[in-house]
Amino acid sequence: MKLVLKTITFLFLVGLISINGQKISDDSLMKIARLQLYDNPEKAISIGKNLLKKEKDINKSIAIYLLLSTANIAKRNFDESLQYILKAKELAQKSNDLKTQTNVLISVAIQYQQMELFSKSLEVLNEADAILAKLPDNASEKFFETARSYAIRGMIYKSQSNSEIALEKFLISIKNFEKIEDKKNTSANMSIVYYNIGYCYINLNQLEKAQSAFQESIEYAQKDSAKSLEAFALKGLAEMHKQKRENETALQLLTQAENLSKNTGDLVLNEGIYKEMSENYLAMGKPELYQTYNKKYFEMRFKREQNELSSINHSINNYNMETAKKSGEIKTQYRFFRIAIISIAAMIMAFLLYFIIKVRKQNRNYQGKIQKLRRS
């Protein structure tokens, strides 16, 4: 079931389209790269790298880093994706644009959620919420990012087998997406959220509601011509039919999903499809086909786990670097305070010493005058 939790990836993608797309909408190459993110991430990466070489503007560079990170996460190359998203975060800290900062932070939270570093993801989401609170209440960006934030939280609850609370978060996400007047950038997101709602209903054994949610997911994916999202939804629908022991129907849907996912390079999607195919063939008493697809499933799983392990190692290294940096800052502050305290103490001692010497000098003068008066 952990495979299906990875679908939130694409919220990352749609986030960069709707916010940063406004800034570089005249760049035809960037538009082409974005269109290729779902179905040909390699091409998107190639375009993004070429654009990055000559880009000087901070906001546009952030958009390219987000695109490169998204394309790599679509391929389940978490290692490369993490490096690009951290570069985007570093640049965003230099930007005064609250929308850009929020967009990047939520994208970082999605990255950590993908890697199942849930506490880290929630920590970053809290940072994003603090910035979101500063945006006008009627801003479409606020609705959009709030919707993404709740979707991520829903995914985290869902991964912790708390489907009831996850559903609450997903429904809040849907409501916020529905508040956005410009619907052209919300179809893919709605597809993703409904897909995950479908799995919540499967977990709660409410199969009719699950079927309805998956159908909604497919319709929204088709509106955006998002083949990968449609493939995910078909896979979810197939799993529902498998639970009803309708194996032939499930395999037909999985075959459709496999055809849609051919160029995506999405390891998790392919892993999920092959896993479901093997289980359906096993249930139908076809051992040869079961072995064929079970082998494919394990191959995809191995590749995904290797990518995730590499990313987690980089994440740990990055965390250690951040900790060392903070420790260095604390040590610098400590040295500064120590020097300041010593300096202040020295000044006080000097003042006291001066005052003591002055008083003693005055006392000697008074004593001298008193002696003179006695003699006279």
**Dist CA 69 CA 128 (whole Å):** 19
Distance separating alpha carbons of residues 101 and 235, to the nearest angstrom: 34
- pLDDT for 329 equals 67
Q: DSSP 3-state assignment of 354?
A: helix
Rounded Cα distance, 305 and 262, in Å: 20
Position 308 scores a pLDDT of: 67
Q: What is the pLDDT of residue 69?
A: 87
% residues pLDDT > 90 (the chain): 38
Q: How far apart are CA 152 and CA 116, in angstroms?
A: 11
Q: CA-CA distance, 114 to 210, in Å (whole number)?
A: 23
* 3 state SS for 186-250: CHHHHHHHHHHHHHHHHHCCCHHHHHHHHHHHHHHHHHCCCHHHHHHHHHHHHHHHHHCCCHHHH
Render pLDDT for 130-171 as a digit per residue (tens, 0 to 9). 999 998 888 888 999 999 999 999 999 999 999 999 999 999
Regions in the chain scoring below 70 on pLDDT:
1-27, 38-39, 76, 307-329, 331, 363, 366, 368-376
pLDDT score of 214: 95
Write out pLDDT tens, residues 175-224.
999 998 877 778 888 999 999 999 999 999 999 999 999 999 999 999 88
Length of the chain in terms of residues written: 376
Longest Cα–Cα distance in the chain: 132
Helix (H, G, I), strand (E, B) or coil at 312: helix
List all residues 6 or more positions away from 217 whose beta carbon is below 8 Å from its beta carbon.
Answer: 190, 191, 192, 194, 195, 198, 229, 232, 233, 236
What is the pLDDT at residue 114? 80
pLDDT value, residue 26: 41
The reported pTM is 0.69
